[in-house]
Structure 1
Amino acid sequence: MNDAPHGRSAAFHVLSTGYTTSTGPGVAATVSLVLDGELRIVFDPGMVAHPSAILDPLADLGLRPQDVTDVVLSHHHPDNIMNVGLFPHARVHDYQAVYRGDQWTDRDAEGFALSESVRLIRTPGHSREDVTMLAGTPEGVVAFAGDLWWRANGPAEDPVAPDRGQLTASRERVLAVADLVVPGHGAPFVPDASTPR
């Protein structure tokens, strides 16, 4: 099965590059924006030093919080979701449902397409609820992988992963289609033979 989106019309911007060397203190999420047609998708609006670390780069792109149509959460750890409330009009997607206002619509994230160029896949490993968003861009497929990788070098052994086998399988699944990976707490990287599996 090929997980890559069929379309190649999406574009992306990293709004805030995250960081961590261990589990706290001083953790920030990598927060990204994906644009495709009318969609304005923020991925993992998590912990940052101040909301301006997300909102100022968004404003530099000519967007206000109310312009964001969708928020995708890779998983439910606080460091990846802390600022979801900045986008009160957006549909919020996780592994099991779409939420908006007081509406909760069940649906499995596996294979859910936000557009021809943007889709979600279930990638458990760092947590049992992990989701990766795949965006087809003119340059290739970008995988917004949450904490499957915290940064380019891993960690190779995720200290909070509930199942090492699941983590490896999900990493391999993402690497089979990704030309670029945006990790949970670091800069985007091009995967290669040294990328932790």
Structure 2
Amino acid sequence: MYQVDVLVQGYPGKAICHGGLGWSTIALLRGCNRTILVDVGAFGVRRELLKQLRAHGVEPEAVSDIVLTHAHYDHSVNFTLFPQARIWIGDDELTWAERQPPGFDPLPELYVRELANSPRVRRVAPDEVFIDGIRAIAAPGHTPGSLLFHVEVNEPPVLFTGDAAKNRVELLSHDVDATADREASRRTIDRILALWRATPGTILIPGHDLSMQLDDDGHPAYIGRRSAAIAAWFGESIELTTTIDLEKSLEAS
């Protein structure tokens, strides 16, 4: 089994005037003689990621594997910070990503190029058990080669959905925001729900939200509480900040 710790909570929102927040989930798995990160976040999370790793007794050099759900910048760019790690990404995803020209989209072109050429990269096929007890499952829609990661060896199992199901609302509504193929995304949500329901107690960890389990009525229920805020300088002193709380009560959801 793997010990699973969420180092950085994903957040289910986007800025009105500044595009996506890029606040994605980063999780640490330890077990089977491996230290694994599932997704590695965007530039803005670097200090917090290092802080959380060290709080869990892990130095960057000790990370043995990085597992990427897909190639978008907010999930992938920090692979460069882990010099000893093998990097696992879907073969279909990387093949698609490296063929895309620069554009106004979330693909980090130069980092994709590095992934495509790096000897540390291992390309994963759908339905492959590529690390002990962890199976990759095709999840097209958000991107053509997105993958789910099903930690089958754990009791209960853990299902990482990346942005194939970014948040609780997408799971409840069967509809998605920011997808390359809406119908494919809906079929993928059906696949996720079937996997989730197959084993009672399965923990689902999405790309931009809190971890969840199904309650007794079969509805997604959050594990833990959201923690998110912005400190802003609106006054005339560097010491004076205004805190904007983004937690939002979970009882209303």
Distance change in 2, residues 1:25/1:167 (3 Å)? closer
Q: C-alpha deviations, 1:77-134, integer Å up to 9, x for none?
A: 1111132212121111111089698427674421222334212122112111201111
Distance 1:35 1:52, change over 3 A: same
> Partner of 1:126: helix, strand, or coil?
coil
Q: Indicate how the Cα distance of structure 1 residues 105 and 90 shifts in structure 2: closer, same or farther if over 3 A, else same.
A: closer
If the length of structure 2 is used for normalisation, what is the TM-score? 0.65
Distance 1:146 1:123 in 2: 9
Q: Which residues of structure 1 form unaligned runs of 5+?
A: 1-8
| Partner deviation per Cα, 1:10-34 (whole Å, 9 max, x = no partner) | 2211010021413734331110111
2:159/2:203 contact within 8 Å kept: yes
Q: Which residue is 1:185 aligned to? A: 208
Percent identity, aligned pairs only?
A: 26
Does 1:71 pair with 2:88? no
Report if aligned partners of 2:148, 2:161 keep a CA contact under 8 Å in 1.
yes
CA offsets per residue over residues 121-171 of structure 1, 9 Å max, x none?
A: 221121112011111354311111101222222274323212222212222
1:7-156 pair list within 5 angstroms: 9-22=1-14, 24-47=19-42, 49-96=44-91, 102-103=118-119, 107-136=123-152, 138-154=154-170, 156=173
Residues 20, 27 of structure 1: 8 Å contact kept = no
Select the structure that is richer in helix.
2
Structural RMSD (CA): 2.6
Query: Is the radius of gyration larger for structure 1 or structure 2?
Result: 2
Q: Distance in 2 between matches of 1:34 and 1:91?
A: 14
**Alignment match of 1:168 (pick from 158, 166, 186):** 186
Structure 2: segments with no counterpart, 5+ residues: 95-114, 197-201, 221-253
Distance 1:35 1:109 in 2: 23
Give the match's secondary structure for 2:143: coil
Q: Distance in 2 between matches of 1:116 and 1:143?
A: 15
Decide whether aligned partners of structure 1 residues 48 and 28 sit closer, same or farther in structure 2, where only a CA change above 3 A counts. farther
Q: Distance in 2 between matches of 1:76 and 1:14?
A: 20
Range that drifts further, 66-75 or 115-124? 115-124
- The 1:107/1:52 distance shift into structure 2, 3 A limit, reads closer
Structure 2 counterpart SS, 1:15:
strand
Give the stretch that moved more between structures: 99-108 or 41-50.
99-108
Question: Bigger relative contact order, structure 1 or 2, given CA contacts below 8 A and separation 6+?
Answer: 1
Taking the aligned partners of 2:6 and 2:211, their CA distance within structure 1 comes to: 8
Given the two structures, how large is their TM-score scaled by the length of structure 1?
0.82
How many residues are treated as equivalent by the alignment?
187
